[in-house]
Structure formats: C-alpha cells, structure tokens
C-alpha cells in the first residue's frame, strides 16, 4: 500500500474528509494510483496531511523505503542503455552504449565516458520492488 496525492488545490479549497478543514492537498492510501483515483471519486475527497499522519500513527503503520536491488551480471544481453551498473570496486555508472562485449559507461562524478569490458562489471541495478505495506 502506498500514499498518493489525489487532489491539489493551490487556493486551499479542497476539503478534508477527516477534519473538515479546507486545505491545498488531499491524500489517500491505496495499492495503485488507479485505485487511489477511484477511491477519491467514490469518497468525494480524502484526508489532509495532518489527518493522514494521525491515521498512520493510530493504525500502527510503518514507513519503509524500498531498497535498491542489485543483480549479478551474467550476460551482456540482459543490459540496456540507461541502466546503472557497478564495477568490482563498487564504482557506479550509467550505460550509454553497448557493443559486443564492451559497454560505454559514464561513471558517477566523472564528466567523460569510458569503454569497459563486461568482465570488469559486477552487477546492475534492477527496478525497485515494492515491499508489502504495513
């Protein structure tokens, strides 16, 4: 479950379904953006930041940041441009080109790219996986 901003009214005319105050931002908890939008229509609103925080505390929710997951590189075919890779020393970079057995990588903090053999790379960052909400 995630927290979604479902309504923004810069004039402060959105009404919180919890406290009744007029606020700028309304939030809902749902499993997806689509579900949050559907709930927003059904409930004709949601909760302000104060009420959503009170709900989270009362219900004993924990906020857990998804962890980055690294996967060992076993084949160059699993890599794509734009992926973040890590070499054997822990240095991280972004793939900007892929050749037969080499990659063109821009390393974090560097202003230039470097061609490296696939054997020098250890792992790549996979999409963040959602952990079960609490």
Confidence category of residue 70, pLDDT binned at 50, 70, 90: confident
What is the reported pLDDT for 132?
44
DSSP string for 47-109: B-HHHHHHHHHHHT----PPPPEEEE---GGG--TT-EEEETTS-EEEEEEE-SSEEEEEETT
Q: pTM surpassing 0.95?
A: no
What is the reported pLDDT for 50?
94
What is the reported pLDDT for 129?
43
pLDDT digits (tens, 9 = 90+) for 82-109: 999 988 888 899 999 999 888 999 998 8
What distance in Å separates the CA atoms of residue 18 and residue 47, rounded to the nearest whole number? Answer: 6
Looking at the predicted structure, is the pLDDT value of residue 43 above 70?
yes
Domains, the chain, with CATH or none: 2-59 (no CATH), 69-126 (2.30.30)
pLDDT digits (tens, 9 = 90+) for 51-64: 999 999 999 988 87
Looking at the predicted structure, is the pLDDT value of residue 23 above 90?
yes
DSSP string for 1-56: -EEEEEEE-TTS-EEBTTT--EESEEEEEESSHHHHHHHHHHHT-BB-HHHHHHHH
In the numeric block, which tokens belong to residue 13?
Answer: 């005319």
In the numeric block, which tokens belong to residue 19?
Answer: 């406290």
């Amino acid at each position: 479950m995630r927290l979604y901003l479902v309504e923004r009214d810069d004039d402060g005319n959105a009404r919180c379904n919890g406290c009744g105050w007029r606020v700028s931002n309304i939030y809902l908890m749902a499993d997806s953006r689509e579900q949050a939008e559907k709930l927003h229509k059904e409930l004709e609103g949601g909760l302000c930041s104060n009420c959503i925080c009170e709900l989270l505390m009362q219900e004993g929710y924990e906020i857990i940041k998804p962890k980055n997951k690294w996967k060992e590189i076993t084949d160059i075919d699993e890599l794509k441009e734009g992926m973040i890779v890590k070499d054997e020393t822990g240095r991280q970079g972004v793939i900007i080109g892929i050749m037969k057995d080499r990659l063109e990588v821009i390393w974090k903090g560097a202003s230039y790219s470097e061609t490296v053999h696939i054997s020098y790379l250890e792992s790549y960052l996979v999409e963040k996986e959602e952990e079960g909400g609490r």
